[in-house]
A and B are shown apart, each in its own frame.
Chain A
Amino acid sequence: MTLKEIQDLLEAELLVGGNDDLKVKPSSACGSDLLSDVLAFTKERALLLTGLTNPQVIRTAEMSDLIGIVFVRGKRPDSATLDLAGVKKIPILATRLPMYEACGRLYRGGIKGCSEVK
């Protein structure tokens, strides 16, 4: 599933990134509000769903080689976070769906969890 299909499935808005970024396919996805867990357990090229919106989320995505971030339950990051995502070239989506429902739609759509991919 591409980021574009993910955007449609989550009725999400693209806050950072362009059409080329939406062609990217994540290897897996992870839903977490604990960055330590993201650093310890995600796989490279994973998509992160989170309710955290501070700039360290972008740093964590950078270090973990994540391909994008979805902010859930209507959270809007501040400009510092969005600017950093632009600099680091990490696409950002925002959905009004709560975490469980956003993750559920993606899992039902066929995106695997981080423990299910090598």
Chain B
Amino acid sequence: MENRDPLFEVSREIVGADFQSAGDISGEVKKILLQAGFPPPFIRRIVIAAYEAEMNVVIHAFKGIFTTVIYPDKVHIVIDDEGPGIPDLELAFQEGYSTAPPHVRELGFGAGYGLSNMRKCSDTLKIDSHVGEGTRVTMDFLVKSQRDGAEVEK
């Protein structure tokens, strides 16, 4: 697809283990997308995927950079973290599989749906991970998606 010039670009730093601020960035992205006038179901699937990705960095990594680029016809999100990496991606995508520690499960996370939910919500999801270095998650969301009208489930 040809990309036109971005309308807006924003980068924010995620701090690992900071559960007070976790969600701030996804909340800001939601506000920006609402102001840009995108349809609510489109915004909802972006923001759910963004929040899952943001929480993954807070839960598992030391820090990360969350970049959102908004085009007229799509939204591009890249989350680049410094952390332990994912040794087995196939296993990580398996629903119900999680390596979240007990204090995170007490908050209600760690059911093992994060990555699969990100895949359901996005049009494309790419994960590059290097054990001991970090993980880069790239997601694209198309306004005129094959998923138009599709719900965020299954």
Pairwise interchain contact B111-A34, C-beta atoms closer than 8 A: yes
Cβ of A21 < 8 Å from any Cβ of B?
no
- State in angstroms the CA–CA spacing of A30 and B124 once bound together: 28
Residues of B within 8 A of A118 (CB): 151
Task: Tell whether A59 pairs with B108 under 8 Å between CB atoms, given A36-B114, A39-B51, A39-B52.
Answer: no
- Of the listed residues B20, B23, B44, B109, the one surrounded by the most CB atoms of chain A closer than 10 A to its CB is B23
In the complex, which residue of chain A has the Cβ closest to the Cβ of B55? Answer: A56
- State in angstroms the CA–CA spacing of A80 and B107 once bound together: 14
Cβ of A57 < 8 Å from any Cβ of B?
yes
Q: Interface range on chain A: under 10, 10 to 19, 20 to 34, or 35 or more?
A: 20 to 34
Task: Tell whether A44 pairs with B44 under 8 Å between CB atoms, given A52-B107, A56-B107, A56-B109.
Answer: yes
Cβ of A100 < 8 Å from any Cβ of B?
no
Pairwise interchain contact B19-A63, C-beta atoms closer than 8 A: no
- Of the listed residues A38, A39, A43, the one surrounded by the most CB atoms of chain B closer than 10 A to its CB is A39
- Contact count A vs B, C-beta below 8 Å: 77
Cβ of B87 < 8 Å from any Cβ of A?
no
Query: Contact partner of A40 among B27, B41, B108, B117, CB < 8 A?
Result: B117
Binding site for B on A (CB under 8 A): 33-41, 43-44, 50, 52, 54-57, 59-60, 62-65, 80, 88, 118
New contact pairs (12) apart from A63-B51, A80-B20, CB-CB < 8 Å: A35-B109, A37-B111, A39-B52, A39-B113, A40-B153, A41-B153, A50-B108, A54-B107, A56-B109, A57-B108, A63-B50, A64-B44
- 29 intermolecular pairs with C-beta atoms under 8 Å apart: A33-B108, A34-B111, A35-B107, A35-B108, A35-B111, A36-B110, A36-B117, A37-B111, A38-B108, A39-B48, A39-B51, A39-B52, A40-B116, A40-B117, A40-B120, A44-B44, A50-B108, A52-B107, A52-B108, A56-B23, A56-B107, A59-B51, A60-B51, A62-B23, A63-B27, A64-B48, A65-B44, A88-B27, A118-B151
